[in-house]
Amino acid sequence: MSRNGPLALAYHTLFVAFMLAPILVVCFVAFTPEGYLSFPTDRWSLRWFYAIAQYPEFISAFWRSLWLGAISSAIAVGISVPAALAIARYRFPGREAVTALFMSPLMIPHLVLGIAFLRFFTQIGLGGTFTGLVLSHIVVVIPFALRLTLASAVGLDRSIEHAAVSLGATESVVLRRITLPLVLPGLVSGWALAFINSFDEVTMTVFIAAPGTETLPVRMFLYIQDNIDPLVTSVSACVIAITVVALVLLDRAFGLERMLVGRNANHGR
């Protein structure tokens, strides 16, 4: 395989700069010592990070986002595992349709989902509640949870379970000792990917979160709509830092590429 020429590498450098520029700018501005938006030139300051503590609505929104992501992702994985096993193992009428249905939140614009949930939750008395948020987030993260649990269920060699059965294992023993441990990496990565997507979701949540149940991205969005100041850059910098750490850990553990492309595309070269 031939190498990239200098032209290609120059292009690549510009491209990476384009991808990283807005993220780096946010992080830089967050360290400004000034009271207005500016780049820290001669000195850095953490004053805007300390300032976050003065805004309890950011702190509480952060914890809410964390819980929301953790709970909805866990439930999404819990629902996905049996569905993934069914889709991976059985050829049943409606299998394609069921799969398409479970993946559909990827296709339906989050705006439409937000509006639909706002209408629905208001009607059934869940408007602006945390329960409503959890239900809606389960729906939007299920495709991510399902994709990765499905991949690990499909990759499971059925003869391994047959081997356990032939050695005298009952169904529940096979499930507990063989099947679950083998699909566990898929479950964990599915949960993590679902969590990140829940943690960052804003378009749908902005419709259904009320004051008091706002998530961090929603709080940030509403704040930016009013004014852009260094405070929101320091909050964003924290979010970016958390995501980057999670990303690197996930990449180390499972391979980001495999999680996003949905298969291990890296081998065979």
The reply on whether position 20 binds another protein by CB under 8 A is yes
Instruction: Select the span of 43-51, 55-63, 66-74, 165-173 touching another protein (CB under 8 A).
Output: 165-173
| Residue (253 or 261) nearer to another protein, CB | 261
Residue corresponding to tokens 């009952």: 170
SS3 state of residue 30: coil
| Residue (50 or 266) nearer to another protein, CB | 266
Instruction: Select the span of 34-42, 46-54, 55-63, 66-74 touching another protein (CB under 8 A).
Output: 34-42
Q: How far is the CB of 73 from another protein (least distance, A)?
A: 13
CA distances (Å), 233 to each of 4, 47, 117, 236, 237, in order?
Answer: 37, 12, 30, 5, 6
Tokens standing for 109? Answer: 């614009």
Rounded to whole angstroms, the Cα distance separating 258 from 262 reads 5
Q: Is 158 exposed, middle or buried (0-12, 13-18, 19+ CB in 10 A)?
A: exposed
Instruction: Report the sign of the C-alpha dihedral through residues 13, 19, 20, 26, in that order.
Output: positive
What residues between 232 and 251 interact with another protein by CB under 8 A?
Answer: 232-233, 236, 239-240, 243-244, 246-248, 251
x/- mask, another protein, residues 57-96, rule CB under 8 A, reads ---------------------xxx-xx-xxx-xx-x--x-
What residues between 177 and 196 interact with another protein by CB under 8 A?
Answer: 177-178, 181-182, 196
Among 108, 245, 249, 253, binds another protein (CB under 8 A): 108
One-letter amino acid identity for 232? V
DSSP assignment letter at 2: P
